[in-house]
């Protein structure tokens, strides 16, 4: 059966580099949302725990509950308010007055500040009212954060947003002192932000996602940081045949054999989350072998008769081929695929 390998040495290499940039392991929050960017939530959480990380961020409550035993804190980024009482180390991102008001009294929160992304978050002129709600509902404000919209772009917007966040931090610190609140953990840098900055300042940690998985989102003109992709996708052979000259293979018969050739069918298709290729152009595997014809829901054809084939071990080339971003290649992969740590 098709499977995914996860390279532990590569992951630890990446986390080591990121920890140095941040100022220590304690200054990293592993972003494990959406099944750990397709790598496998529980298995990646266990590896991050083994490395020594204490914090993680996930998409929803179900993801948080599945890994809460491994971290001091798990931050839920984009979920609705839960109906049940959750573990003490699960916190919620509060992006609006409505979210703050709907949370149960005493819930753990990280307040989201809109510094220019304009996707969600409390605006600067809403900070005072947000803090009033937090105090009234006795919400436990563990952190305050923002999200950069262009940290990976070759422009200065990163520094503009950082300056707005610094201004918001000053107002929140003053209000926290006024209300007698405990120390708040501020955080702003994503992978790109961490890789392009010299210091986190007084931020408590950085939230690292794509860089942890081995991809540098920055423009090549920035100082290069050698990261190593963690995930590789493997397909296993289902059958082999000789395709005679002039015969066609697959849906639509778009591939015609130019000569007698050996082809094999492998057990990955678009139903497994791989991008559907149309067969007009060939897709190269990690070893250089190329696809023959269209991808089906559960299989595809390839020249040769190898028992196993690595479809990719670096998603960058595939992302360019399918005109998308590196993030999308692993994130689409089916959770049902077996994942093996090597």
- Of 33, 54, 142, 292, which is the active-site residue? 33
Sequence ranges of the chain with CATH classification 2.40.37.10: 231-341
- pLDDT reported for residue 93: 95
- C-alpha–C-alpha distance, residues 299 and 309, integer Å: 13
Mapped to the 3 state alphabet, what secondary structure does 107-173 carry? CEEEEEECCCCCCCCECHHHHHHHHHHHHHCCCEEEEEECCCCCCCCCCCHHHHHHHHHHHHHHHHH
Report how far residue 31's alpha carbon sits from residue 79's, in angstroms, rounded to the nearest whole number: 15
Percentage of residues in the chain with pLDDT exceeding 90? 89
Task: Give the mean model confidence (pLDDT) for residues 124-135.
Answer: 96
83 pLDDT tier (thresholds 50, 70, 90): confident
Asked whether residue 268 carries a pLDDT value surpassing 80, the answer given is yes
- Is there a catalytic annotation at residue 137? no
Q: Which residue spans of the chain are classified as CATH 3.20.20.10?
A: 8-208
| Closest C-alpha to 241, from 311, 310, 305, 307 | 305
When comparing pLDDT for 153 and 123, which is higher?
A: 123
Percentage with pLDDT > 70 across the chain:
100
User: What is the per-residue pLDDT for 271?
Assistant: 97
* Region 236-258 average pLDDT: 96
Task: Point out the catalytic residue in the list 97, 138, 245, 251.
Answer: 251
Is 33 a known active-site residue?
yes
Chain segment 6-17, per-residue pLDDT in tens = 999 999 999 999
340 DSSP β-pair partners: 5
Residue range 231-341, CATH number = 2.40.37.10
CATH tag for 8-208 (out of 3.20.20.10, 3.30.200.20, 3.10.20.30, 1.10.3430.10): 3.20.20.10
DSSP designation for 106: T
């Amino acid at each position: 059966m098709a499977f995914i390998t996860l390279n532990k040495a590569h992951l630890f290499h990446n986390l080591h580099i990121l920890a140095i940039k941040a100022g220590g392991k304690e200054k990293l929050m592993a972003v494990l949302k959406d099944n750990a960017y397709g790598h496998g939530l529980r298995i990646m959480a266990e590896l991050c725990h083994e490395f020594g990380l204490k914090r993680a961020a996930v998409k929803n409550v179900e993801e948080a509950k599945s890994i809460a035993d491994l971290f001091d804190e798990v931050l839920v980024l984009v979920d609705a308010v839960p109906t049940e009482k959750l573990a003490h180390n699960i916190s919620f991102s509060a992006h609006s007055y409505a979210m703050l008001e709907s949370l149960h009294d005493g819930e753990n929160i990280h307040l989201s500040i809109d510094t220019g992304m304009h996707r969600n978050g409390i605006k600067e002129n809403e900070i005072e009212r947000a803090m009033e709600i937090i105090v009234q509902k006795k919400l436990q404000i563990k952190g305050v954060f923002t999200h950069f919209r262009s940290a990976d772009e070759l422009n200065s917007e990163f520094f503009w947003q950082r300056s707005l966040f610094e201004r918001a931090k000053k107002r929140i610190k003053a209000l926290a002192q006024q209300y007698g609140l405990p120390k708040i953990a501020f955080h702003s840098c994503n992978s790109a932000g961490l890789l392009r900055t010299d210091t986190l300042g007084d931020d408590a940690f950085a939230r690292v996602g794509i860089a942890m998985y081995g991809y540098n989102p920055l423009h090549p003109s920035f100082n290069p940081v050698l990261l190593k992709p963690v995930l590789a996708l493997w397909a296993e052979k289902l059958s082999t045949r000789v395709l005679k000259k002039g015969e066609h293979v697959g849906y639509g018969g778009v591939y015609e054999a130019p000569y007698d050739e050996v082809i094999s069918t492998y057990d990955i298709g678009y139903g497994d989350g791989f991008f559907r290729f149309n067969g007009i152009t060939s897709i190269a595997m990690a070893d250089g072998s190329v696809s023959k014809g269209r991808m089906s829901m559960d299989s595809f054809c390839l020249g040769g008769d190898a028992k196993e084939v690595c479809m990719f071990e670096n998603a960058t080339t595939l992302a360019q081929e399918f005109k998308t971003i590196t993030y999308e290649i692993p994130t689409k992969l089916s959770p049902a695929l077996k994942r093996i740590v090597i």
